[in-house]
Amino acid sequence: MEEALKQPKQTLIAPGRDIVASYAQELRRNLWSLIEDGVTDVTIDLAGVQMIDSIGLGVLIAAHNSLKKKQGRLAIVHVSKEILGLLKTMRLDRHFDIKE
């Protein structure tokens, strides 16, 4: 179950499950809703996330781009070594604020 802790312009989202195609649309809707509500600082807590597929990566990239247009940022915390390796391979570590 996804948790979201919302403060004025920042939010922490903790999906607690893999970010794959079967979950991506729900995450996308939740992120868009937050961004439309004026949130500009989103942190995604990947504790409990073992895998992100290409659809999930697309959701994160789109959220990053939408936040960037609003002078905001997307941060990712509690990243596993495997997911960090994927993000580095895709060079997304140059765009996202990543904390292991």
Tens-place pLDDT, residues 2-15: 555 555 688 999 99
**What pLDDT is attached to residue 99?**
82
Q: Specify the CATH number for the domain of residue 30.
A: 3.30.750.24
What is the distance between the alpha carbons of residues 79 and 100, in angstroms, rounded to a whole number? 5
Q: Residue 31: pLDDT band by 50, 70, 90 thresholds? A: very high
Task: Give 52's DSSP letter.
Answer: B
Per the structure, the complete domain to which residue 67 belongs is given by: 3-99
Q: What is the mean pLDDT of the chain?
A: 90
> What is the pLDDT averaged over residues 54-69?
96
In the chain the first and final C-alpha atoms are separated, in Å, by 22
With a cut of 50, say whether residue 70 has pLDDT above it. Answer: yes
Domain count, the chain: 1
